[in-house]
Amino acid sequence: MTGRAETFRNYINGRWIGARSGAVMESVNPATGEVLGVVPKSGPEDVDDAVRAAAAAFAAWRKTPAPRRAEILFRVAERLVTHKEDLARLMTQEMGKVLTETRGDVQEAIDMSYFIAGEGRRLHGYTAPSEMPHKAAYCVRSPLGVVGIITPWNFPMAIPSWKIVPALVCGNTVVFKPASYLRGGRPAAGGAQHHHGARVRGRGRAGGASPGPRRLVYRLHRDRAAARGEVRAGG
């Protein structure tokens, strides 16, 4: 990136907003030291806002028919195809992998989005024999609620896509915390955050209680949280 650094924001409740505290931190190209952008240094209050927004969206999203949710995610995959080269170059600037690898990273998010979108028409339950006459026994799948997603830095789009896209197609809403090393990184689901997802950024201790991701896990202990990475989770 050349010229003026870009300003990034959290996406919460359908709006791009800064941290409540107004605190920010820089995203730096590790090869050149160039400042790529300025991002919010989120705190526990920002995590709480994101969880509340995702919880409010859950009632409508879970009632959206699964094939319709799948259509939205299919369009996300199409957007990723259109912007694949731009996303790969941004990833290289921000975390240092060579373009061949970052293109593959984006492609994996594309493939996952297409594949999981197909599951929107395969979210079958099952029937079982009943021991009682005139009774039917069956099982249907129900979403869990708000899902917290915390991911590491090394595959900035592939790994989030493994978690975010399945959660959304199954009717859950999502709060996504990318790795601190990827402060300006786009979420794996691309445009999916416009459909009942929220994203918060922050370093280990800044993104909530000590360490940061603990706040997100604490808020969602009755629903579901998924973390992949080092002990500090998402660092």
Q: Is residue 173 in some structural domain?
A: yes
> Would you say residue 90 lies in a domain?
yes
> Domain holding 202: CATH number?
3.40.605.10
The pLDDT tens digits of the residues spanning 77-102 come to: 999 999 999 999 989 998 889 999 99
For residue 133, being part of any structural domain is answered with no
Look at 4-13, 123-132, 149-158, 198-207 and tell me which has the smallest mean pLDDT.
Answer: 198-207
- The per-residue pLDDT for range 183-220, each reduced to its tens digit, is 555 544 444 444 455 566 555 443 443 445 555 665 55
Give the strands of the sheet with 6-7, arranged side by side.
6-7, 35-40, 24-28
What's residue 95's pLDDT?
87
Confidence check: pLDDT of 104 > 90? yes
Q: Does position 75 have pLDDT exceeding 90, yes or no?
A: yes
Give the C-alpha separation, 140 to 126, whole Å. Answer: 7
Structural domain range at position 193: 38-121+142-227
188 within domain boundaries: yes
- The token duo for 21 is 């505290």
Domain count, the chain: 1
118-135: average pLDDT: 92
Q: Quote the tokens at residue 20.
A: 């409540």
Mean pLDDT of 33-45: 87
Residue 187's nearest CA partner among 114, 91, 53 is: 91
| pLDDT over 70 percentage in the chain | 75
Tell me if 172 is assigned to some domain: yes
Instruction: Indicate if the alpha-carbon torsion angle 220, 221, 226, 228 is positive or negative.
Output: positive
Q: Is the pLDDT of residue 106 over 50?
A: yes
* Nearest alpha-carbon partner for 10 in 176, 192, 190, 234: 176
The answer to whether residue 60 sits within a structural domain is yes
Does residue 198 belong to any structural domain of this protein? Answer: yes
Taking residues 145-150, what's their average pLDDT? 89
Average pLDDT over residues 158-183: 88
Whole-number pLDDT of residue 36: 86
Residue 217, pLDDT score: 60
Task: Report if residue 55 sits inside a domain.
Answer: yes
Q: What letters, b where the CB count within 10 A reaches 16 and e where it falls short, cover 91-129? A: bbbbbebeeeebbebbbbbbebbbebbebbeebeeeeee
Q: Tell me the mean pLDDT in the region 3-13.
A: 80
Mean of pLDDT over the chain: 81
Rounded to an integer, the average pLDDT of 170-182 is: 85
The 3-state secondary structure of the chain, one letter per residue = CCCCCEECCEEECCEEECCCCCCEEEEECCCCCCEEEEEECCCHHHHHHHHHHHHHHHHHHHHCCHHHHHHHHHHHHHHHHHCHHHHHHHHHHHHCCCHHHHHHHHHHHHHHHHHHHHHHHCCCCEEECCCCCCCCEEECCCCCCEEEEECCCCCCCHHHHHHHHHHHHCCCEEEEECCCCCCCCCCCCHHHHHCCEEECCCCCCCCCCCCCHHHHHHHCCCCEEEECCCCCCCC
Contact status, residue 204 vs residue 213, Cβ threshold 8 Å: yes
| φ, ψ of residue 23 in degrees (nearest 5) | -70, 145
Pairwise CA distance, residues 148 & 48, whole Å: 12
CB distance 72 to 66 below 8 Å? no
